[in-house]
Amino acid sequence: MHARALLGGSAFALCMALVCTGQTKQVRTLSGTVLDAATGEPIPRALVRVLSNSALSAMTGADGHFEIPNFPTGRTVSIAAKRPGYGSPQMPSQGRKSVGPGENNITLELVPQGGIQGRIVDEDGQPLQGIRVQAIAQDIRNGRKERRPVSTASTGSAGEYEIDGLAPGTYFVKTFLRRLYMTFAPLPAAQQAYAGEFYPDASDRAAAQPIQVQPGQTIEADFTVRTVRTFRIAGMVTGLGKGQPASVTLDQPDGGRFSVPIRFNRRTGQFAVLGVPAGSYKLVFRTYSRSQTGFYYAEKQIDVEADVSGLKMDPQPLPPIPIKVAQPPDAHASVQLQLVSEDGTNNTYSATTFPHQALEVPGAPPGSYRVAVHTYGSACLDSISSGSADLMSQDLTVSAGAAQPPIIVTLRSDCATLNGMVHTDGPKASAMVLVVPESGDLEPHIISAAPESQFSIKGFTPGDYRIYAFSTLAGLEYTNPEALRDFNAQEITLNPNQTTSVSLNLIERGNR
Amino acid sequence: MVAILFCAAVSIFAQQANYSIAGIAVEQGTKQPLSRALMIIRTTDGSHREKACITNTNGAFRFDGIPPGKYILNGELPGKRPQPFHRSGQYVTGIAVGPGRDSEHIVFTFVRAGTIAGRVTGDDGTPVRYAHVYLLRDGVFAGREAIRMRGMRNTNASGRFDFDRLPPGTYFVAVTGQPWYTRYLPARASGDLDMAYPVTYYADVLDPASATPIELREGGRAKIQIVMHAVPAVHVQIAAQTNPPRRGSFFSAKERGPGGYPIGIDMRSARTQGHWDVSLAPGEYTVGLGSFSGPGRADFATKRISVQGSDAVVKDEPMSSVAGKVSFASAGRAPGIQVVVSRLSGRGRGTTLKPDGSFQIAGLSGGNYTVRLQNPGEFRLVQVAAKGAAYSAGVLKLTPGAQAQLALVAAPAESHVDGTALKDGKPFAGAMILLLPLDGKTDPYVGRDESDSDGTFSVLHVPNGRYELLAIDDGSDLAYRDPAVMARYRSGGQMVNVPLTKGHKLKVKVLSRTPGTRSSR
């Protein structure tokens, strides 16, 4: 016997932490209430805790009231309320508050989660068990609209699914393709599947209908899923370094990845997939890591209406795209460059250059990319180009096989400086200052500013700008001028080598 | 709509063949014909050829052009698990094709699986998320009645769980989890937040003996609700002898559930300098502490503890062991034979025999075990004699601290017992075929097969000796290794001396299952 259990009962540490560490400090009792943000009703049995010391916690009573004894005095302390069924990871600031030294009788609000549920049947009305259902949030992140899968569930024995814990917002719901029969034998009779479909009964993303989930609300979304014939696709990847980490995937025209795994033998290059419904696909081969030979890529457009075999994929090297930074002699700046895929996937390939050091973007597959550049240091952006293309106003096109001309980032040193202050009549809270270039070719700047104190930012490319101070940027599509139209902006011109001062009024925005 | 290949005149295997396999797919219970079932026949001659078709609107299927032989028939309903034709344990009924064999009136019964689904909430109405839900089945496993785990699920964020594809039977549900707020709090939270959930059995009881069994019928759907009540947690420190504990050390606590099945506790535990700090609800647990001491090797020690109030009392329960030797009645044993001792619940421990046939397994807790050989090749275990522990009816009873000495005999088993099961003079398909030893010893060997569609059976690897050959029309859930259960069938069979005269085929009369019997209880 190599281990021995020595046991001792111990309730000793119950209050040790509180008493011993609190001895020399002043404490007080903090009290408050937790409310449902949708109904205004108190929330019983919610946990309220001090974020920096979770030993200081309390549960609300039936009236939503809580008291935290031994609460520290003399400094600002963040507290947060939690209860299953409220809040969400998408809203991290939910139910949180900074409590100043003199503050008491705090009110914390929690937004109740919503959900989507429904029943999935086949064309005969028979409930389907084991169908995977996914909720895709249509969200705004970094000022852009984005569709992001948030939660997946499977239908139970009565064909019912339930996705809960959703933050209020806009969602699409889709089912995943599922084979009718589990046999893997290539039997023609067994080649059928329940189609992957978007609510309500739409076969592609474009025809999908968004579902609005309100706080605390559960939306019903029933589907009828079609049965479709499926086919087998098989072929071979040629001329490939043996055993290189790589995959073959089947992409749908809307950029979605086909959900059935493709069997790919890295040694022989052979690949096969069963269960593909009729349609147009892009078959893609890609290597995962930069080996001695660099990245390889191949794609093939295929229309499936019968079994397809003997496909040949001939991967081509994906040469890295060189970046050249043209800096004025007196400047000393780093550049972060991002290629953001415009195919709907938002795949991003990025590189950061250090002052006077050129780099490259590795492994970006063929396609169109938006090029975003941020500068750090004593220079600002003048232009981005590749060959004859102006990448400030147009997309970068990457094609397979051919070497890409370098992306030339030209910096200038006559940058402008912006000084300012944010005013508010309401409670003091930090502001997000949004600086949007008028030309649309440059990326917006975002600065977090403390209330009623001066901020100063260097490194602006001279030009015309609109400036806003928001309480939060959450859910604001600020890269879209239309989304900003209803808000008051300061219109300013930043001149070369000059400092411009602004005074901004805080624009209060709710969570949604 | 899909172009479906209906089953009609599917020309099949290469050779000249004029036989057919045909029948109808029906639902168990209702006997309703089932359309859109995928039927697959597979050869059994090692060629692994197969053919499939889909039942028509009348539930009918038909394969033509089939050469004589035996075939495995499987069926699959859309979106469901494949099912073999007439399954009983690990035995299926084959389809015999050839002259004088009727292979065209098959009734393929699709078993309707049941579900047990539900929700777990705390006493404050919140869902208990990510709780472990154990589903135990009280049934017959390998011919003995026992309580075994059917499955384990974690509840989802809404506290829900769902067990599907369940055969009919008797089930117990046990849940272990933690109050939601404890994950946001330090290990020793203050006052009324320092809580834990005891293991809770359906329907909301803490004593496994009071757990309510769920009787699930064919295709039954049970919806249950379980409410867990938080109690003040007890903190226990468990010190490891290796100080600090080595990398890869682990800790577990288990409670004895229905039938003694160990329920692994979902608890909060933290490894600090030299000890484990765990928070539990009061109760009696078997705690285990171990560490990986090398590739594929682990050291493990267990203790029984009773946790009440703020005290944890060690109830010392000495470990048992078995040791002994396997004698082989003839030369030619293959390497890699293991002796395995298993609880009736299915959990076992095994060790590979040393070259001289000796073995030793230590660190067993007291209880009832079966003894068997794994990978025995052409040998079968035919005798078990025990000193230091009682052995009867194939069960070894180890008292805590017992050091049992076992003498095992393995005999070569090169004979086959072939024959036909007959009821009212006609071949009977799907009968349970048993060869029970007759020489009065509590032999661990029992021969077993299932009759095929033409009533034929073949029990392979039978050691020489005297047996009673029994055929029972419905062997499902029959505790055929329990002498008390089998007493009512014995002497209804036929005496057989193995080896049989070469080429001799037996005929055995099929007995009717005594209704409502599976065990001696």
DSSP letters for A136-178: EEEEEETTEEEEEEEEEEE--TTSEEEEEEEPSEEEEEEE--E
Mapped onto helix, strand or coil, the DSSP state of residue A108 is strand
Q: Which of A100-109, A428-437, A497-506, B169-178 has the lowest mean pLDDT?
A: A428-437
Q: Is it the case that residue B3 has pLDDT exceeding 50?
A: no
Chain A contact set for B40 (CB, 8 A) = 183, 185, 187
For residues B456 and B43, what is the distance between their CA atoms, to the nearest angstrom? 17
Question: What is the pLDDT at residue B293?
Answer: 61
- Largest pairwise CA distance in chain A: 80
Q: Say yes or no for a CB contact (<8 Å) between A181 and B76.
A: yes
Give the number of beta-carbon pairs within 8 Å between A and B.
173
Question: What is the pLDDT at residue B4?
Answer: 34
**Which of A113-122, A415-424, A430-439, B155-164 is most confident?**
A113-122
- Closest to B447 in 3D by CA, of B460, B438, B430, B457: B460
User: Residues of B numbered 185-244 whose beta carbons fall under 8 angstroms of chain A's beta carbons: which are they?
Assistant: 185-186, 188-194, 221, 234-242
Measured CA to CA in angstroms, residue B187 lies from A54, A72, B144, B459 at distances of: 10, 21, 44, 59
Give the DSSP H/E element, type plus range, for residue B485.
helix B483-486
The b-or-e profile of B253-272 (16+ CB within 10 A means b, else e) is bbbbbbbebbbbbbbbbebe
Task: State mean pLDDT over A453-477.
Answer: 88
Instruction: Tell me if A409 sits within 8 A of A324, measured CB to CB.
Output: yes
Amino acid A74 reads G
Q: Is it the case that residue A197 has pLDDT exceeding 50?
A: yes
3-class secondary structure for B256-270?
ECHHHCEEECCCEEE
Half-sphere exposure of A54 (CA within 13 A, CB side): 15
Query: By the CB < 8 Å criterion, does B127 face chain A?
Result: yes
Chain A contact set for B115 (CB, 8 A) = 156-157
Q: Is it the case that residue B417 has pLDDT exceeding 90?
A: yes
Q: Between these two residues, A475 and B300, which has the higher pLDDT value? A: A475
Predicted confidence band of residue A225 (pLDDT cuts 50, 70, 90)? very high
Q: Say yes or no for a CB contact (<8 Å) between A165 and B157.
A: yes
User: Residues of A numbered 105-124 whose beta carbons fall under 8 angstroms of chain B's beta carbons: which are they?
Assistant: 122-123
For residues B258 and B201, what is the distance between their CA atoms, to the nearest angstrom? 9
- Shortest Cα distance, chain A CAs vs residue B254, angstroms: 15
**Which of A434-448, B121-135, B262-276, B281-295 is most confident?**
B121-135
Structure tokens given for A432: 């997000």
Interface test with A, best of B12, B181, B300 (most A CBs within 10 A): B181
Q: Say yes or no for a CB contact (<8 Å) between A4 and B240.
A: yes
Of B38, B158, B314, the CB nearest to A5: B314
Question: What is the pLDDT at residue B292?
Answer: 62
Predicted confidence band of residue A9 (pLDDT cuts 50, 70, 90)? very low
Instruction: Tell me if B361 sits within 8 A of B369, measured CB to CB.
Output: no
User: Residues of B numbered 74-103 whose beta carbons fall under 8 angstroms of chain A's beta carbons: which are they?
Assistant: 76, 78-82
Q: Between these two residues, A472 and A71, which has the higher pLDDT value? A: A71
Of B124, B235, B290, the CB nearest to A10: B235
Instruction: Tell me if A166 sits within 8 A of A211, measured CB to CB.
Output: no
Q: Say yes or no for a CB contact (<8 Å) between A194 and B275.
A: no
Residue of A nearest to B245 (CA): A3
Task: State mean pLDDT over B206-232.
Answer: 94
For residues B177 and B263, what is the distance between their CA atoms, to the nearest angstrom? 12
Q: Say yes or no for a CB contact (<8 Å) between B305 and A158.
A: no
User: Residues of A numbered 27-66 whose beta carbons fall under 8 angstroms of chain B's beta carbons: which are they?
Assistant: 44-45, 47, 49, 54-55, 57-59
Question: What is the pLDDT at residue A87?
Answer: 84
Residue of B nearest to A11 (CA): B310
Q: Is it the case that residue B294 has pLDDT exceeding 80?
A: no
Q: Is it the case that residue A157 has pLDDT exceeding 90?
A: no
Q: How many Cβ atoms sit within 10 Å of the Cβ of residue A248?
A: 24
Structure tokens given for A498: 């000059």
Predicted confidence band of residue A141 (pLDDT cuts 50, 70, 90)? confident
Q: Say yes or no for a CB contact (<8 Å) between B239 and A5.
A: yes
Q: Is it the case that residue A210 has pLDDT exceeding 50?
A: yes
For residues B7 and A75, what is the distance between their CA atoms, to the nearest angstrom? 80
- Shortest Cα distance, chain A CAs vs residue B240, angstroms: 6
Chain A contact set for B2 (CB, 8 A) = 192, 227-229
Chain A contact set for B50 (CB, 8 A) = 185, 187
* Mean pLDDT, all residues of chain B: 86
Chain B contact set for A82 (CB, 8 A) = 181, 184
For residues A145 and A136, what is the distance between their CA atoms, to the nearest angstrom? 12
Query: By the CB < 8 Å criterion, does B298 face chain A?
Result: no
Query: By the CB < 8 Å criterion, does B365 face chain A?
Result: no
Residue of B nearest to A47 (CA): B181
- Shortest Cα distance, chain B CAs vs residue A186, angstroms: 10
User: Residues of B numbered 334-363 whose beta carbons fall under 8 angstroms of chain A's beta carbons: which are they?
Assistant: 363
For residues B109 and B218, what is the distance between their CA atoms, to the nearest angstrom? 12
Instruction: Tell me if B136 sits within 8 A of B150, measured CB to CB.
Output: yes
Question: What is the pLDDT at residue B299?
Answer: 59
For residues A297 and A295, what is the distance between their CA atoms, to the nearest angstrom? 7
- Closest to B404 in 3D by CA, of B376, B366, B457: B366
Task: State mean pLDDT over A469-489.
Answer: 87
C-alpha angle B451-B460-B503 in degrees, rounded to nearest 5: 85
Residue owning tokens 């946790």: B307
Question: What is the pLDDT at residue A448?
Answer: 84
Q: Say yes or no for a CB contact (<8 Å) between A11 and B192.
A: no
Report the percentage of chain B scoring pLDDT > 70.
89
User: Residues of A numbered 262-321 whose beta carbons fall under 8 angstroms of chain B's beta carbons: which are they?
Assistant: none
Residue owning tokens 């808000």: A487
Interface test with A, best of B38, B250, B365 (most A CBs within 10 A): B38
Question: What is the pLDDT at residue B404?
Answer: 95
Query: By the CB < 8 Å criterion, does B72 face chain A?
Result: no
Q: Which residues are paired to B118 by β-bridges? A: B161, B224
Predicted confidence band of residue A491 (pLDDT cuts 50, 70, 90)? very high
Chain B contact set for A6 (CB, 8 A) = 237-239, 275
Chain A contact set for B78 (CB, 8 A) = 122, 180-181, 192, 227
H-only helix segments in B275-361? none
Question: What is the pLDDT at residue A355?
Answer: 66
Q: Are strands A106-110 and A144-154 parallel, antiparallel or unpaired?
A: unpaired
Question: What is the pLDDT at residue A17?
Answer: 37
- Shortest Cα distance, chain A CAs vs residue B275, angstroms: 9
Of A7, A123, A128, the CB nearest to B305: A7
Question: What is the pLDDT at residue B10?
Answer: 43
Chain B contact set for A165 (CB, 8 A) = 157-158
Task: State mean pLDDT over B207-214.
Answer: 96
Q: State pLDDT tens for residues B297-354.
A: 555 667 778 887 766 777 767 788 999 999 998 888 888 899 999 998 888 889 999 9
Chain B contact set for A57 (CB, 8 A) = 181, 184-185, 189-190, 193
Q: Between these two residues, B254 and A354, which has the higher pLDDT value? A: B254
Structure tokens given for B371: 């003894």
Residues 6+ apart with CB under 8 A from B46: none
Half-sphere exposure of A179 (CA within 13 A, CB side): 25
Instruction: Tell me if A166 sits within 8 A of A113, measured CB to CB.
Output: yes
Query: By the CB < 8 Å criterion, does A188 face chain B?
Result: yes
Question: What is the pLDDT at residue B396?
Answer: 94
Chain A contact set for B158 (CB, 8 A) = 162, 164-165
User: Residues of A numbered 193-222 whose beta carbons fall under 8 angstroms of chain B's beta carbons: which are they?
Assistant: 194
Helix-strand-coil split of chain A, %, nearest 5: 5, 50, 45
- Closest to B215 in 3D by CA, of B250, B166, B155, B282: B166
Q: Say yes or no for a CB contact (<8 Å) between A156 and B237.
A: no
Question: What is the pLDDT at residue B198?
Answer: 96
What predicted TM-score, i.e. pTM, was given to this entire model? 0.82
Interface test with A, best of B12, B178, B184 (most A CBs within 10 A): B184
Q: State pLDDT tens for residues B57-86.
A: 999 999 999 999 999 999 999 878 889 898
Q: State pLDDT tens for residues A62-116.
A: 999 999 998 998 888 889 999 999 987 666 667 888 888 888 999 999 999 999 9
Q: Say yes or no for a CB contact (<8 Å) between A188 and B5.
A: yes
- Can you say whether residue B222 is alpha, beta or left, with left for phi > 0 and alpha for psi between -120 and 50 degrees? beta
Q: Which of A5-14, A298-307, B253-262, B364-373 has the lowest mean pLDDT?
A: A5-14
Of A3, A15, A47, the CB nearest to B301: A3
Mapped onto helix, strand or coil, the DSSP state of residue A507 is strand
Structure tokens given for B278: 């765990």
Give the DSSP H/E element, type plus range, for residue A19.
helix A16-22
Structure tokens given for B253: 């606590």
Predicted confidence band of residue A13 (pLDDT cuts 50, 70, 90)? very low
User: Residues of A numbered 85-104 whose beta carbons fall under 8 angstroms of chain B's beta carbons: which are they?
Assistant: 85
Interface test with A, best of B34, B40, B50 (most A CBs within 10 A): B40
Q: Say yes or no for a CB contact (<8 Å) between A57 and B185.
A: yes
